[in-house]
Structure 1
Amino acid sequence: MTQHSRDLSRRRLLFGGAALGAGALLVGCTSNEAAPTTAQTKGADTAAGGNSAPGKKVTIGFSAPAADHGWLAAITANAKAQAGAYSDVDFKTVEAGADAAAQRAALSTLIAQKPDVIVMLPHDGKELNAAGLEAMKAGIPVVNLDRAFPDALAYRLQIMGDNYGMGVAAANYIVAQLKAKGVSTPVIGEIPGIDSLELTQQRSKGFADTLAAAGFKVANRRPAEFTADSGQQAATGLFQALPKIDAVWNHDDDQGIGVLAAVNQTGRKEFFMVGGAGSKKAMEDIQADGTVLKATVTYSPSMASSAISLARLIGQGKGMSDLVELQVPKEIVLASETITKENASNYLKLGF
């Protein structure tokens, strides 16, 4: 991880704060409903007289998939809460629908209404690339979240978690633990999320590349779908395929609930596990140290808060006050941090 990536991570709260607990809409969601806290959004510091002071009124259109997952719920909740911190922001949400086609139709309607800026988390970056291009050609800057557009002309700003870095961080923790235990030929399992998504592929590549550098490899890989039920099914299949396991990386803490259910159901506790995203429930389990889950690597939905804050600046024609440049950057990547028993208490307030 570069110093630049670490600096970006430390600036997260300047951009908009960290994760917001949102409603547990399905079994896979990891938290209860919670009001925004000062740790989860960045309040407007009007006393500073800088960028946060009220300025030109900005209408921000927003679209993200339905909150049927704890992380997605936090994305939408963070965006709404951050918009509410500014008296000069008019926040307009449009439904994303059930798939990419429905979201594109909704976005076309939004584009016709001519908001100042559009913030979106697409169902699929490749399939929604055309919607980004449509908005940008109409003179509406697009702030894209999480799922990358392949065309740089489809967005004014793209904010991403470090998916490759998540895999690197997870592998680094696993390698360090195994070497400390003197395990030279470990059996390592992997439970990714939706395999067709580029972000999943990047996570797996970072994981595989880093393991390979240490002379290790993944023995079995069972994709899930970011839900508790799919996590339980994938873990059950992994346990059946591998009679002995030393370590597992599960990409997503929501589906990790199902993984832990499979652990309890099968009694397979000879390994340790690393999670992904940084849910509050995962952090609490890590802190309590009563399960196989010993660490998680962050992929914070704080990016939605950041997106709203930066969309506002773009709409007002401003840059970031702590940078020399006069405009908001084109790309921002938030670094993935490793949460363990030793530092979980520092991160709990940021869990979604």
Structure 2
Amino acid sequence: MTDPSLARRRFLFGASALGAGALVVGCTSNEPANAGNQQQVAGGGGDNAQPGKEVTIGFSAPAADHGWIAAITKNAQAQADAFEDVTLKATEGTNDVNQQIAQVETLLNSDVDVLVILPHDGKALTSAGQQAMDQGIPVINLDRIFDSPLAYRTWIGGDNYRMGVNAGNYIAEQMKAKNISNPVIGEVAGMDNLPLTQERSKGFKDALQRQGFRVGPRVAAQFTAETGEAQTANLLQGNRKLDALWNHDDDQGIGVLAAIEAVNRSEFIMVGGAGSKNMMNNIKSDSGVVKATVLYSPSMASTAISLARLLGQNKGVADFAEHEIPASITTYSAVVTKENVDDYMDIGFDS
């Protein structure tokens, strides 16, 4: 990640709150602003930019065999490196549930102050999170959620349903702008057995239905370039005409584009998912079918580390009025297009 992007992501959690005098609502009497019933203003976390108590953060995530997961780990390390009062103890990524549980237990025995865990399987890692919380070690549960809120202090992750909604809304707008009244809209989903895929597909379907459209041909891949290519080839072979296509995941999107290019199809627009650099570059060049991608950004890992630091220092978020870190934070799935792609290039990840 570039230094400007780190600075931008740290702003909310690291910058000093605006002076109270600039935020207090004007009084209706002649009393001074600070007298009597003063309104609560942002500033619960104090000056979080200044170095504070040393905090050791344990970090555990799945194996970096996917561009998005690799970016999660890189972002976490980069954010920790930006704080001189933070030490990060990161385990080797693994897709073996039992091994990840063992790694978390090792972190618990290594004097960490806070844990950040992106579980390979949220249900299977719930007990590990609960064990940490029972020992008084707060847990930031990243993205894949534990079965019980008692297993984490704060959850931060993406909004899968709204990701589908925003993809559907963008496609619907484009179809209406082109005066296409009955478009053929395809979907290349991820793994159908995962709740996140189901939520994305439901949001997509709901958004299109509200606009008077429907989802047409649909296939499910496995979040890999290989399966993305194979499944998209099947979809294209069975449908000689498309008007739009939504692909859930930009990593598998490498294969999706390969399949499209192999048969030289260009009559439709394509929307990606997550926000990889190569998809953003395709959007910026505007030379192919890719016109947008809907964010599900791994920058959430940077925020997770910032939150873990504040928990370890017993601070709140500087720009919030509350003195405590929120129990949950849901990131927003912005739609990246040619018009705004430069604003988001700094959080694009390598597929």
| Pairwise same-fold verdict (TM > 0.5) | yes
Structure with the greater alpha carbon radius of gyration: 2
TM-score by length of 2: 0.86
Alignment of 1:1-352 (within 5 A): 20=1, 36-40=2-6, 42=9, 50-352=47-349
Tell me which amino acid in the other structure corresponds to 1:225: Q
What stretches of structure 1 of length at least 5 have no aligned partner? 1-19, 21-35
Question: Is contact 1:40-1:302 (8 Å) kept?
Answer: no
> In the TM superposition, what is the alpha-carbon distance from 1:65 to its structure 2 partner?
1.1
User: CA–CA distance in 2 between the matches of 1:52 and 1:236?
Assistant: 51
User: CA–CA distance in 1 between the matches of 2:84 and 2:177?
Assistant: 53
Question: Is contact 1:136-1:153 (8 Å) kept?
Answer: yes
TM-score by length of 1: 0.86
Aligned partner of 1:7 in structure 2 is none
Tell me which amino acid in the other structure corresponds to 1:279: S
Deviation string for 1:287-315 (max 9, x for gaps)?
A: 11111111111111110010001001111
Question: Is contact 2:64-2:93 (8 Å) kept?
Answer: no
Tell me which amino acid in the other structure corresponds to 1:134: Q
Aligned identity (percent) is: 56
> In the TM superposition, what is the alpha-carbon distance from 1:47 to its structure 2 partner?
9.2
Tell me which amino acid in the other structure corresponds to 2:69: L
Tell me which amino acid in the other structure corresponds to 1:203: R
The answer to which of 169-178 and 206-215 deviates more is 206-215
Aligned partner of 1:15 in structure 2 is none
User: Residues 324 and 46 (structure 1 numbering): CA distance in 2 closer, same or farther, change over 3 Å?
Assistant: closer
Deviation string for 1:203-244 (max 9, x for gaps)?
A: 111111111112222122211122211111111111122222
Question: Is contact 1:320-1:327 (8 Å) kept?
Answer: yes
- Give aligned pairs, total: 318
User: CA–CA distance in 1 between the matches of 2:4 and 2:193?
Assistant: 36
Question: Is contact 1:60-1:91 (8 Å) kept?
Answer: yes
> In the TM superposition, what is the alpha-carbon distance from 1:341 to its structure 2 partner?
1.2
User: CA–CA distance in 1 between the matches of 2:52 and 2:344?
Assistant: 33
> In the TM superposition, what is the alpha-carbon distance from 1:104 to its structure 2 partner?
1.4
What stretches of structure 2 of length at least 5 have no aligned partner? 18-45
